């Protein structure tokens, strides 16, 4: 069934921020992607929640483009790829899969440094004229940033592991006059941008200027206050300023500081998870141009899924230029990625059943 049949256009126009607040924010399923904040000057953020700052004229855009109000994945797949996935395509639709790493690795990157390498190469070859990345301060508080030089991209490298409204950075780039925007983010953020590009809606805010989307594998993300207080301070006796980086490896959540590495089993971090991660069924950023994660590849390498024409073009260009190198994924590695992707879908279905809430059917 087509999206317009499932979700008639008048519904969008009749829904304002009150609907977004009631159906998404108050239900605790907001992923704080920043889409509504980027779209509407009347919406801001208070207490880590989208908040209406002045009168809402009932335009409905915040509700229509929110990835948590409804999300018809087969519809968006057909729009982007020309078809919806087959039942065995648990990682979504992709053209090629491989392990890759940057050559050389530049800056404090995560795993193989592929995301940073691709963004820098895209900037240096004119594919993009800026990159929207997620930066942080010394206390690991995150903020979207419009990077315009290789040095700025490299400085923002590394996974932050806390929720940030990164899509607000896309609007910053648009307002600054950039016309070929690169973006890297989590699956929910990629979903939001693709929804804005592909949904049959008349409103244009500049989404056609997004030239490249690099998605990150993500099982779940964390609430800053809970993670820093409950894990870093209380369990590990560290301060946020002590942390050099976070990483998840072999079922362990690791905190690396100058004093060494401390770790806890990943299941012990459930209490720090962002509540809005529950209704997410996408592990590998299935609507990105290129998807990148560490799962399935050896240490120091990244697993890469190339999905679209822009993704194929920038990946092959970077490979030819010697910016990255690749090798085949093992069957065991691919099986692990597929298993985790299936587990995330199962977790989503359990959540939807338990909470009687399925964003695919709202």
| Sheet containing 252-257, strands listed edge to edge, beginning at the edge strand earlier in sequence | 243-249, 252-257, 260-265
How many residues appear in the chain? Answer: 362
- Asked if pLDDT for residue 3 goes beyond 70, the answer is no
**Could you give the angle at the alpha carbon of 340 between the alpha carbons of 281 and 256, nearest 5°?**
105
- Asked if pLDDT for residue 7 goes beyond 80, the answer is no
Is 224-272 CATH 3.10.450.750? yes
**What is the average pLDDT score of the chain?**
89
Cα separation, 27 vs 355, in Å, equals 10
Q: Under DSSP, is residue 323 helix (H, G, I), strand (E, B) or coil?
A: coil
Q: 21-70: per-residue pLDDT in tens?
A: 999 999 999 999 999 998 888 898 888 889 988 877 777 888 889 999 98
| pLDDT band per the 50, 70, 90 thresholds, residue 339 | very high
**Do the Cβ atoms of 85 and 307 come closer than 8 Å?**
no
Helix (H) or strand (E) holding 340: helix 331-355
**Do the Cβ atoms of 240 and 142 come closer than 8 Å?**
no
12-16, 96-100, 136-140, range with the lowest pLDDT = 12-16
Helix (H) or strand (E) holding 151: helix 150-155
| pLDDT band per the 50, 70, 90 thresholds, residue 218 | very high
Which letter does DSSP use for residue 222 in this model? Answer: B
Higher pLDDT, 65 or 16: 65
Q: 33 — phi, psi (to 5°)?
A: -75, -25
Residue 163's nearest CA partner among 257, 306, 28, 340 is: 28
Span 224-249, mean pLDDT? 91
The tokens for 33 are: 């992607």
Residue 32 Cα to chain centre, angstroms: 11
Cα separation, 289 vs 287, in Å, equals 7
pLDDT score, position 110: 61
Q: 186-197: per-residue pLDDT in tens?
A: 999 999 999 999
Model's pTM, two decimal places? 0.90
| pLDDT band per the 50, 70, 90 thresholds, residue 104 | confident
Residue 67's nearest CA partner among 40, 29, 109, 27 is: 29
**Do the Cβ atoms of 249 and 264 come closer than 8 Å?**
no
The tokens for 297 are: 């590849």
The tokens for 29 are: 């399923």
46-50, 71-75, 304-308, 358-362, range with the lowest pLDDT = 358-362
Q: What is the CA radius of gyration of the chain?
A: 19
| pLDDT band per the 50, 70, 90 thresholds, residue 356 | confident
Residue 81's nearest CA partner among 353, 289, 317, 340 is: 289
Secondary structure (H, E, C), 22-88: HHHHCCCCCCCCCHHHHHCCCEEEECCEEEECCCCCCCCHHHHHCCCCCCCHHHHHHHHHCCCCCCC
Span 256-263, mean pLDDT? 90
pLDDT score, position 311: 98
């Amino acid at each position: 069934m087509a999206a317009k049949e499932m979700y008639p256009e008048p519904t969008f126009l009749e829904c304002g921020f009150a609907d977004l607040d009631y159906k998404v924010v108050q239900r605790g399923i907001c992923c704080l992607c920043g889409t509504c904040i980027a779209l509407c000057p009347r919406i801001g953020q208070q207490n880590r929640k989208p908040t209406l700052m002045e009168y809402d004229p009932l335009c409905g855009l915040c509700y229509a483009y929110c990835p948590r109000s409804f999300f018809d994945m087969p519809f968006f797949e057909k729009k982007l790829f020309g078809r919806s996935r087959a039942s065995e395509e648990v990682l979504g639709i992709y053209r090629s899969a491989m392990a890759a790493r940057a050559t050389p690795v530049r800056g404090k990157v995560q795993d193989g440094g592929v995301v940073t390498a691709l963004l820098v190469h895209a900037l240096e070859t004119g594919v993009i004229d800026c990159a929207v990345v997620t930066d942080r301060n010394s206390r690991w508080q995150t903020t979207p940033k419009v990077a315009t030089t290789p040095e700025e991209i490299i400085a923002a490298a590394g996974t932050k592991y806390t929720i940030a409204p990164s899509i607000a950075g896309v609007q910053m780039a648009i307002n600054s006059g950039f016309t070929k925007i690169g973006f890297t983010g989590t699956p929910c953020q990629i979903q939001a941008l693709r929804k804005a590009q592909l949904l049959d809606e008349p409103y244009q805010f500049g989404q056609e200027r997004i030239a490249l989307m690099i998605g990150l594998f993500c099982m779940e993300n964390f609430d800053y206050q809970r993670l820093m207080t409950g894990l870093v301070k209380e369990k590990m006796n560290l301060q946020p300023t002590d942390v050099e980086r976070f990483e998840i490896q072999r079922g362990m959540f690791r905190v690396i500081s100058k004093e060494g590495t401390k770790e806890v089993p990943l299941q012990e971090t459930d209490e720090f998870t962002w509540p809005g991660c529950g209704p997410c069924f996408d592990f590998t950023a299935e609507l990105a141009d290129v998807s990148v994660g560490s799962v399935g590849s050896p240490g120091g390498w990244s697993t890469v899924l190339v999905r679209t024409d822009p993704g194929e073009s920038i990946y092959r260009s970077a490979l030819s230029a010697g910016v990255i190198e690749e090798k085949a994924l093992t069957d065991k590695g691919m099986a692990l990625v597929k298993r985790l992707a299936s587990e995330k879908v199962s977790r989503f279905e359990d959540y939807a059943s338990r909470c009687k809430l399925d964003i695919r059917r709202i």
